[in-house]
Chain A
Amino acid sequence: MNNDNNSKVNKDKEKNEFKTLPFLGIPKLLPYIKPYKKLIIQMMTLGMLSSLADSAYPLFNQYAINNFIGKGTLQGLSAFIAAYIIILVLQTIDNYITVAMCGRVEMNVNRDLRNASFSHLQELSLFYFNTNNVGYIHARVMSDSGKIGEMVAWRFMDIVWQLSYIIFVLIMMLAINWKLALIIFALIPVVVVLVAIFQKKLLAINRKIREINSKITGNFNEGITGASSIKTLVVEDKIQEDFEKDTGKMRRTAVKSVRYSAFFTAIVTLVSSLALAIVLWYGGNLSVEGLMTIGTISVFASYALGIMEPIQNIVVTISEVIAIQVNIERFTRLMETESDVSDRPEVIEKYGDTFNPKKENWEELKGDIEFKDITFCYPDGEENVLEHFNLKVPQGTSVAIVGETGAGKSTLVNLVCRFYKPTKGQILIDGHDAADRSIGWLHNSIGYVLQTPHLFSGSVRENLKYGKEDATDEEIWKALDLVAAGDVVRRMEKGLDSDVGEGGNLLSTGEKQLLSFARAILSDPRILILDEATASIDTVTEKKIQNAIKVMTKGRTTFAIAHRLSTITDSDVILVVDDGRIVESGTHEDLMLAGGRYYELFTRQFDDLVVNKSIEKALAH
């Protein structure tokens, strides 16, 4: 599959995705929020109480000014202190519980979203993985979930917190002096509109900044990995010049973004001061006439000053919530994607599903495979790559599939493994339609060796047990020795407990390949898939691998996707694929005699083979 096209497809998708979902996408998240409904309600109630306390503090000031300072007495001071401290302590407890709850909600929702998406991915068909690149899918599991969890907990909490604060303050202001309160209210829409306008622009600019940023990282990568080419071509200046164009653009865009944000914060504070001025003017006049106490002016002034910031924050928070719609949309799209290869309900009933297999009902698998009148078209393709294809592969036979890179050699393997389902026709396994048995049953009997050996982080043992969950050390060693990998592991300091590193990167390619053979052989599969390595491995390892393949394929139904034709000359059937179709089939001798595509491929490769062998031999003298 062509990854480059996919990333383009993803980009287009993202552009279209930027829209608001109905009710901010919350209905789609309900299943994940529901378990924490009680917790969220408690948290929000407590949050409201906290902002009630916040809005009450200026009243203490007012009381102090009017009753102690104004009247010149300290009577009731101890009660004042007591009340103050009680509210403080209650609010502290309240805040502690609220924030801790909020964190719990965030983390739990995150976890549930991640688990749900990860386990959903385990059941999706390979088509999904071939049409979306790994980075894209990975971001759905790891980063979208995080953003959504944050929104459900913190963004909503922020809104509740600030909104209730604003409402409490408004109520108090109305209660103290409704005329003055109304005048202050008139300023609120100004702030809301201003912030909304600027925030929209800011979001757009910030997206651009992220784009430039990733380009700059790409440039660094190019400058480092391409070092030898840059030096030999002497293009340092040119590369530098282009790099500086990007960094300059980055600086200008970032400054532009700050111009917007600085402008609007400046305006919001200006509006706050305007409110303060109004209070002083209006309240001052009333006070001069003895209609308002100084304490009241002071409490009004604090409210007028204090209300604009929460308003600004609310608008910013809402715009952030809107920006998260993209993540919700992507996430839910993943969850709504259904596997296009799945077992029928009655099959699941009998054999179990991915996570609950009913192994007791599984029949033994022998390994006779028959493609019966198969027509196949990839879900995103337009043309049939197979039409009325028939092939019998009796138990123990080896089939080799050859062709140029990108010619579509994986198609048959994809069908045998039920990674894809045939458009028409049947795949018979031991004479039964594969669709009548569960995918789990089939996969239990398949051994798969990838072109680029793939190991998982962890120990050698953990990796090998991938083939057989309950394998004993004895069995593991036997499998290792069978593919001549025993010595490799024995040489490691901790033996089977040695860490292989992330993706196996502590081992060499050859070692990884041998371990992946051992893994495949450990499961004692009836059907073996070999996606042969193209990577150049040193001759000694190469020999070992060749021998290991011979040992493995013995007595097993084997499908080998071959790049090096010399390795498959004694296969029972060789299928030559070109442009997605099978153009020739037969034994090596048949095909060489026919002098067609296979002959052409073989002679071309033979050249190189001979060249390399010749040098080795010559140097050995």
Chain B
Amino acid sequence: MRFKTRSSMVLFFLRGSMHFFFYGIIGSLMVAFLDMINPKIIQYTVDYCIDDKESKLPSYMNFIMQQLGGREVIRHNLGYIALTIVCIAFVAAVFRYLSKVFNTKGAEKLVETMRNTLFEHILRLPYSWHSENHTGDIIQRCTSDVETIKNFLSGQLVSFFRVVIMISLALYFMFSINVKLSLIAMILFPVLILYSFFFHRRIGSAFKKADEQEGKLSAIAQENLTGVRIVRAFGREQYEKDKFTSYNEEYTRMWTHLMKLLSAFWASNDLISGLQVMIVTVMGAVFSVHGHITAGEFIAFVSYNAMLIWPVRMLGRIISEMSKAGISIDRVRYIMNSAVEEDAEDAIECPIDRDIVFDNVSYSFEKNSNDENGIDSENGNVSAPDKAESDEISKNNKSDDKDKSENQEILKDVSFTIKSGTTLGILGGTGSGKSTLMYLLDRLYDLPKENGTITIGGVDIRKIKRSWLRKNLGFVLQEPYLFSRTLSENIGIAASSDDKGLVSMDKIRHASKIAALDESVEKFPSGYDTFVGERGVTLSGGQKQRTAIAQMLIEEPPVMIFDDSLSAVDTQTDARIRKALSENIDDATVILISHRIMTLMHADNIIVLDKGRIVEQGTHEELLAKKGIYYTCAKLQGLDVNPPKEA
């Protein structure tokens, strides 16, 4: 789905929460209305019961009053009036509660919908998108921009409605008392609204500057702390202190100045409101003395005016702040408008345990990223990595991409076949395109139509459902990511679970054993319950790789890809894993990418990649006989390169 306008996306997010906001607004309408009754009651009490004046209530109310016994009875039983006030207050309290709760329900439902939708969308965005965008920036869009949109919809927009309702109701009652006096009361309103609007609009940039300064100050502290050894070893404590102090001083100066501006605004705004109240009081008194309004009406009018003054003062600010939400909406829209991975409608689930054929496959990054940029530029504000909190990983991805785009062509006319159930070894240096080959097979990168075909059992992989394809291709990444869960949850994450949603421990243990992870796990005090990932224990590179292997093995997919997955494991463990693998799974198709000849030598077929082309192909013996790259590698790695003597 593409959102052409801001409002279309906002409406999309509002599904499921709109009715709550509606109830909330109805609730505040009721509260405002009920609050408006009190001054009327006071007016009635003062004029009718105490002052012996005519009742100005609507006739049906007068009728009820007469039935109750008229003026004398009420006058001597003012408790009725008190009771009425309490009753109305009670109803108002119930509505006040309901309106607030409904509004929050709406707001929270909205945030939940936004978060879930965004997260789901992000999970389904192609891998290329992930490597092109900064993690820190995306997270900011998903957290603080979402928060801004929520505040806009549930805070500013709802307050706007509420304020407008309050103002119109109060004005209605005021006008019903005396039109001229009401008009006088309104004289200063435009001033209050515009003053507040323009002030908040202008002060916004000053706030932004102060925030930026805070960011700088914060960064200085951060760098000082992370570089504490450097600061100490070079003895630069004084320098650091001076630097911090001077930035701190500037930050303090900016805020003190801001506070001065704010206090001037608040005080002057108070003065205008105070003048408005005074004008109403004075003119009210004058009107009353001239007999235009009664004493009770005067009291009621002053109360309505008091109810009005805050909403009016709020209005300018609300309007000025509402404009800020637009930027956040655009930033979120950028994510939502990025195209997700989608299967063709007639995508199929075909058997994967067949021959895999790469036919004239070429691939370059340049082209692919151009497509993505098309989406970005339309949006106007492409990811602005101004906040340099971008994650280590995303940075790595970035630099990877830079290298790749410089190379332009990653793969050139690559053709080979992997017979079902055989093992293919791939040898190649850094940047030779071997990982890209596997990313294409797993459809992490999509192979453009004109760049050749990859088929499994004769079916073009572009026609196979992505999830089906990936489930059946067990892919152990070079730098696997572990989730913030326990080890057993990590290993079992992709496994099918029983009715209770649990994966059997036997399966987990078995997979760990093949992956030579079992011994390491036993060393942890909490064993398989050890919490790993971002917030848990940090595993070594080798342990991570072995966890990822176990993760893949648990479902025993028909095709297994090891992308340099044993690079951080020592040679003995490497051998142990390969042995366990060959003993436990013999019918799977295996693709091994490695630098180690030892790892590759037993493969049924080995291809050597250089700069995106296949330069050598054959079995270990055949390749040794060729005396090419493979031979040189093997020799340098200290292997016995002499062919077995046939004679």
Contact surface of A with B, Cβ cutoff 8 Å: 3-4, 7, 57, 60-61, 64-65, 68-70, 72-74, 77, 80-81, 84-85, 88-89, 91-93, 95-100, 102-104, 106-108, 110-111, 114-115, 118-119, 121-123, 126, 129, 134, 137-138, 141-142, 216-236, 238-240, 243-244, 247-248, 250-251, 254-255, 258-259, 261-263, 265-267, 269-270, 272-274, 276-278, 280-281, 284-285, 287-288, 294, 297-298, 301, 354-355, 405, 417, 419, 440, 443-444, 446-448, 450, 454, 456-457, 466-467, 469, 501-503, 505, 508, 519, 523, 529, 604, 607, 610-619, 621
Contact = CB atoms under 8 A, between A and B. Distances in A.
Nearest to A534: B541
A119 B234 CA distance: 16
Contacts of B143: 216-217, 220
Contacts of B225: 121, 129, 134, 137-138
B230 interface: yes
A501 B388 contact: yes
B288 interface: yes
B394 A225 contact: yes
Given A266-B100, A273-B85, 4 more contacts: A232-B470, A263-B97, A273-B89, A278-B82
B531 to A, nearest CB: 9
B70 interface: no
Contact of B123 (A4, A74, A223): A223
Contacts of A80: 282
B158 interface: no
Contacts, number: 434
CB-CB nearest 6 A-B residue pairs: A103-B259, A273-B89, A614-B636, A99-B263, A448-B233, A443-B235
Nearest to B76: A288
5 contacts: A118-B240, A224-B122, A417-B232, A454-B226, A618-B632
Contacts of B75: 288
Given A64-B284, A288-B50, A255 B252 contact: no
B577 interface: no
Contact of B391 (A126, A225, A457): A225
Interface stretch (B58-66, B186-194, B273-281, B313-321): B273-281
A427 to B, nearest CB: 15
B263 A100 contact: yes
A262 B100 contact: yes
Nearest to B230: A454
Nearest to B89: A273
Contact of A301 (B42, B81, B231): B42
Contacts of B231: 122
A449 to B, nearest CB: 9
B202 interface: no
Interface stretch (B106-114, B166-174, B446-454): B106-114
B142 A74 contact: no
A294 B108 contact: no
A118 B241 contact: yes
Contacts of A267: 93
B7 interface: no
Contacts of A89: 271
A444 B237 CA distance: 11
Contacts of B82: 277-278, 280-281
Given A446-B234, A614-B636, A281 B270 contact: no
B119 A4 contact: no
Given A69-B295, A457-B223, A250 B112 contact: yes
Given A89-B271, A95-B270, A276-B38, A502 B223 contact: yes
A227 B127 contact: yes
Contact of A111 (B105, B228, B249, B274): B249
A612 B428 CA distance: 10
Given A110-B252, A224-B138, A142 B221 contact: yes
Contacts of A523: 234
Interface in B602-647: 610, 628-630, 632-638
B51 A236 contact: no
Nearest to B494: A233
Given A118-B241, A240-B123, A270 B104 contact: no
B585 interface: no
A141 B230 CA distance: 20
A277 B229 contact: no
Given A142-B221, A227-B127, A616-B429, A251 B230 contact: no
B412 interface: no
Interface string B249-284: 101100110111011101110110011011001101
A102 B262 CA distance: 12
B241 A107 contact: no
B537 A4 contact: yes
A235 B496 CA distance: 11
B429 A619 contact: yes
A115 B548 CA distance: 47
Contacts of A270: 89-90, 92-93
B444 A255 contact: no
Nearest to B124: A236
A352 to B, nearest CB: 11
B83 interface: yes
B239 A469 contact: yes
Nearest to A456: B223
Interface stretch (B323-331, B367-375, B477-485): B477-485
B49 interface: yes
A260 to B, nearest CB: 10
A545 B218 CA distance: 32
A95 B263 contact: yes
Interface in B201-249: 216-241, 244-245, 248-249
B467 interface: yes
B403 to A, nearest CB: 9
